Homo-oligomer: A and B are copies of this chain.
Amino acid sequence: MSFQLIEYADASPEVRAVYDDIMATRRIDWVNNFWKALANHPQTLKRTWESLKQVMGPGQLDPLVKELIYVAVSVTNNCNYCIGSHGAAARKAGMDDAMLGELMAVVAMANETNRLAIGYQVPLDDVFKGAVMEHSGG
C-alpha cells in the first residue's frame, strides 16, 4: 500500500503527459526520482511541475541565479536530495567551483548573521523600512 517510484512504463496517461513535458522542456530523455515519487499523487505531480516550470522559467533573473537561490534555500533547510538535484542543475547552468565556494560562504554567513540579529533582537533602522513592503506591519 506504500508509495513507490513510478516508472514511465507503469505510469497512467496523465502521469506520462507530465513526464513527457518534463523531458521536452529540459531536452533530456529521463525523469529524476523526485517526479517519480510525486507521481503517487498525480494532482500534486502536475501542479508542482507546472509551478516549477513557471517559477524557474524565463524572467528577470538569470537561470543560474535562480538555481543558486534554490541551492541556498535547500542548504538552509538541510534537504540533501535538493542540494544534489539543484546543485547538478546549477552546474549545468554554469556554476563553476569558485561560484560554488562563494555560494556556500554567503549561505553560511547569512545563517550566522541571521542568528546574531535575532539573538540581539536588533530593531530595524528606519531607513531600511519599506525596502520590501511599504508600511509593512512586520
Asked if A13 CB lies within 8 Å of chain B CBs, one says no
Q: Could you tell me the dominant secondary structure of chain A's interface residues?
A: helix
Q: Which residues of B contact A44 (CB under 8 A)?
A: 101, 104-105, 108, 116
A119 to B109, CA, bound (A): 13
Q: How many residues of A contact B (CB 8 A)?
A: 91
Would you list the 4 A-B pairs with minimal beta carbon distance, nearest first?
A: A123-B137, A41-B101, A121-B138, A112-B112
Q: Report yes or no: A118 in contact with B75, Cβ–Cβ below 8 A.
A: yes
Pick from B32, B68, B82, B124: contact of A81, CB below 8 A: B124
* Copies of this chain, count: 6
Q: Report yes or no: B111 in contact with A33, Cβ–Cβ below 8 A.
A: no
Q: Report yes or no: B127 in contact with A88, Cβ–Cβ below 8 A.
A: yes
Closest chain B residue to A46 by CB distance? B54
Q: Report yes or no: A73 in contact with B72, Cβ–Cβ below 8 A.
A: yes
Supply 6 further A-B pairs (C-beta < 8 A) apart from A34-B120, A61-B106.
A38-B120, A69-B103, A104-B115, A109-B112, A111-B112, A120-B136
Q: Which residues of B contact A116 (CB under 8 A)?
A: 34, 37-38, 44, 48, 104, 108
Asked if A9 CB lies within 8 Å of chain B CBs, one says no
Closest chain B residue to A98 by CB distance? B60
User: Contact string, A10-38, partner B, CB cutoff 8 A, digits 1/0?
Assistant: 00000000000000000000001110011
Closest chain B residue to A38 by CB distance? B116
